[in-house]
Chains A and B, each alone.
Chain A
Amino acid sequence: MKKISLKINLILTIAFLIGIYFFLSNVNILGDYWSRIVTLVAIYSIMAVSYTLVNGITGIFSLGQAGFIAIGAYTSALLTLSIQQKEMSFFIQPLIWPLNSIQIGFLPATIIGGLVAAFFAFLIGYPSLRLTGDYFAIATLAFAEIIRILIQNLYGVTNGTLGLKGINPYTNVWWAWSWLLVTVIVIGSLKYSSYGRALRAISEDPVAAKVMGIDVFRHQMMAFVISGFFAGVSGALYAHWITTLDPRPTSLGVMLTFYVLIMIVIGGLGSITGAILGAIFFAFVSQWLRIFESNITIFGFTIPGVPGMSMLILSVLFIIVMIFWRRGLMGKEELNWQKIYNFFKKVEVQNE
């Protein structure tokens, strides 16, 4: 097969980015509903890419992603909410100082949301990265649940079960996709640096990596904190997309972790482009499957809609992927022009 040169690679990539740019500038043609989905795709992608850095590239099985997303979401929302809105919402217990008297812009609030999430990633990573395998997964799962329950009960900070309402809908297509670009550049260049090589070595054999002089704990910690930062950013974007936050398990709880897990497993654990493809797949399929939750009429018979039916179908799909297609769409590899070229070449050869 022909090898694609660096120059053509570069041209194609730039053309692709320009194509995305035009698509995003004209996304309004699709209508409000679909342009919101396109924004959600980018938010999900950031969640998935940051998650695959830990679960795929570094190979440590964390189930705490929703905790970091929730921290980023609440932190940024509390920073951007107007003072009047805060006074109105917090009627059981007033919001503590200084949060009750500040309101800052969206960009700094997003970054602070990410930093706070990264700080919590450090706090939780420091003790629990000494655990391995399933024990680490359980520790992080418990951590995410602790975060959720704290949010549910700290009325003076998070407004507890009443949640936050009236968050400014700052997140548009541009914010979400720009942050996705930043995420992919940062995590992509990390994956292919010498640090990334060490992370991949750790994911394959932590003992051998340690014998080779790699400080396993420090590397895992670095990956965990960077992942926490971008999870926090995605949470901030999500908060300003959905505009209301509440601490139910199905919104910012363990379910969200599993959604993101489904995305990265379908995309292929350890692949950045795979994570994005998985996020796109999940965003569209989970919207499309909603038809099963309302009444369906086939040949005059009406099947009553069941709430939660879409999740059931998605889970079955997930199990099928796990059994028959364990490496997911991309495996550990990345999608590049060479692969697309090879794919079409193969199709062409088959057709002849």
Chain B
Amino acid sequence: MPEILKIEDLKVHYGVINAIKGINVRVNAGEIVTLIGANGAGKSSTLNAIMNLVTSKKGKILYEGQDITKRSTAEIVKSGIVLVPEGRRIFPNLTVQENLMIGSYGRSDKDGIKRDFDFVLSLFPRIKERLKQPGGTLSGGEQQMLAIGRALMGSPQILLMDEPSLGLAPLLVKMVFEVIRKIKDEGKTILLVEQNATMALANADYAYVLETGKITLEGSGKSLLAHEGVRKSYLGVK
């Protein structure tokens, strides 16, 4: 499969704290790739660096062979990389429909927007019933659906997801991963950051383990699921 996103020797620091100390990540088109790791390992920083939301970073980020390291967030979104931010961050006083329309901001292909809108509604029938409601009145799970739907409205080639299962009941976590697989079936690439390592690894084509800003392990999702170190540290299996 062709490589769609490549991170070369990425370093991020906040003041004197080095959050990421030089990592290399490759993402193949049409795959689910996951980054797992403990709190503060640098997972979210990696995604924020790709979106150019951090102030100081070193290294290179290549998207479809082009260097996007210095591009603005708006340009990156336009070129086809969209982030589902951690903690959902929907707009609580905008209606659900307005939230979704914000996702398609900057797009001018009306037919494409209509198609994506229908796709999102077919993916989340619960959202469809609540289009006129303010986003803030949705439940936590529905808000996560809305956040994913909003990102899909940007017609991404790559969807970056930052802890989509955070704070959700087990049943909803399962549902989120079902949705992720459906998005993959649409031919989209997904880079997933998760603390729920079991679910993430079970669904991933390829996975990286981050520890205090460095990649300590990588491999296919299944092989890491069977790896003894991973099982001990992240899956809680003795």
Contact = CB atoms under 8 A, between A and B. Distances in A.
A208 B73 CA distance: 11
Given A194-B101, A211-B73, A214-B105, A204 B53 contact: no
Contacts of B230: none
B40 interface: no
A207 interface: yes
A340 interface: no
A211 B47 CA distance: 11
A280 to B, nearest CB: 25
B77 A200 contact: no
B73 A210 contact: yes
Contact of A204 (B93, B101, B105, B150): B93
| Most B CB within 10 A of own CB, among A198, A204, A212 | A212
B63 to A, nearest CB: 15
Interface stretch (B24-32, B82-90, B194-202, B220-228): B82-90
A232 to B, nearest CB: 30
B154 A213 contact: yes
B169 interface: no
Contacts of B94: 197, 200-201, 204
Given A197-B101, A213-B154, A208 B74 contact: no
Q: How large is the interface on B (under 10, 10 to 19, 20 to 34, 35 or more residues)?
A: 20 to 34
B74 A214 contact: yes
B92 interface: yes
Given A197-B98, A207-B85, A212 B92 contact: no
Given A197-B98, A200-B91, A212 B51 contact: no
| Most B CB within 10 A of own CB, among A200, A204, A332 | A204
Contact of A201 (B82, B85, B102): B102
A30 to B, nearest CB: 40
A87 interface: no
A198 B105 contact: yes
B112 interface: no
A134 interface: no
Contacts of B150: 212
Nearest to B79: A213
Contacts of A208: 85, 89-91
B194 to A, nearest CB: 19
A213 B106 contact: yes
| Most B CB within 10 A of own CB, among A194, A201, A213, A332 | A213
A212 B93 contact: no
B5 to A, nearest CB: 17
Interface of A: 194, 197-198, 200-201, 204-205, 207-215, 332
8 contacts: A200-B91, A200-B98, A201-B102, A210-B73, A211-B83, A213-B154, A214-B74, A214-B106
